[in-house]
Amino acid sequence: VAVFDINSGEMLFSKHPDWVTPIASITKVMTALVLLDSEQPLNAWLEIPAPDLETRKNAYSRIRIGSKLKRNDLLKLALMSSENLAAYTLAYHHPGGVDAFVADMNKKATNLKMIDSTFVDPSGLSKLNVATASDLVKLLAEAAKHEEIQQYSTESSYTARFKEPRYSLAYGNTNRLVRRDNWDISLSKTGYITEAGRCLVLMSKLDGKDIG
């Protein structure tokens, strides 16, 4: 656990902040950063590919293979609803494909001085995606600089409209706290796999301060 003041960087509370553990879908925050760094057009339509073995084995998706959705909608579904195939699709359409995307995730971690973090897939389904709470402090602080990540990760619900074929799917946020008026949440990401347990990164206003 690590709780900190986003603006000053002051650590307010911690418990075993340097334990290296799987981080599950918290991984998708790094996926979002790498995607935004690539500066690919967010309004481009992307075809949904057949999932890789990790995604196919460990996650169910309602998205139809071969249909298309805009890149920004895929990012929104990955962040707010933790849609694993959406995250994989973003990496698949990265220059150089999934392998290049994962390499860029690790480069970004190095640049952020996340010294105990390793990424092997864009969705967080693998137990080999690991970090420490101290490293996730750095990840959250960087993500907070991006309006898209703040907005997309905190929407309570969204209906994605696909084409070829045309159909719609409704999604809800995996963090119920974003629906509560007494929580002023500006960034959120949940995660769960058996090896990681339940994970959460979150930024909220507390006594007028941005607390992560």
What single-letter amino acid sits at 137?
V
Q: Which residues have CB under 8 Å from 12's CB, separation 6+?
A: 3, 4, 5, 211
Q: Which two tokens stand for residue 208?
A: 């007028």
Alpha-carbon Rg for the chain, nearest whole angstrom, is 16
Helix axes 147-154, 71-80, angle to 10 degrees: 60
Residue bearing tokens 């003041």: 5
Length of the chain: 212
Q: Residue type at 149?
A: I
Known catalytic membership, residue 81: no
3 state SS of 134: helix
Pairing of strands 209-211, 167-172: unpaired
Q: Which one from 61, 82, 117, 126 is the annotated catalytic residue?
A: 82
Let me know if 28 is a catalytic residue.
yes
Task: Report CA-CA distances (Å) from 45 to 70, 90, 162.
Answer: 4, 11, 9
Contacts of 181 (CB under 8 A, 6+ apart): none
Helix (H) or strand (E) holding 22, with range, is strand 21-22
Catalytic annotation present for 68? no
Residues 101 and 121: beta-carbon distance below 8 Å:
no
- Residues tagged active-site: 25, 28, 82
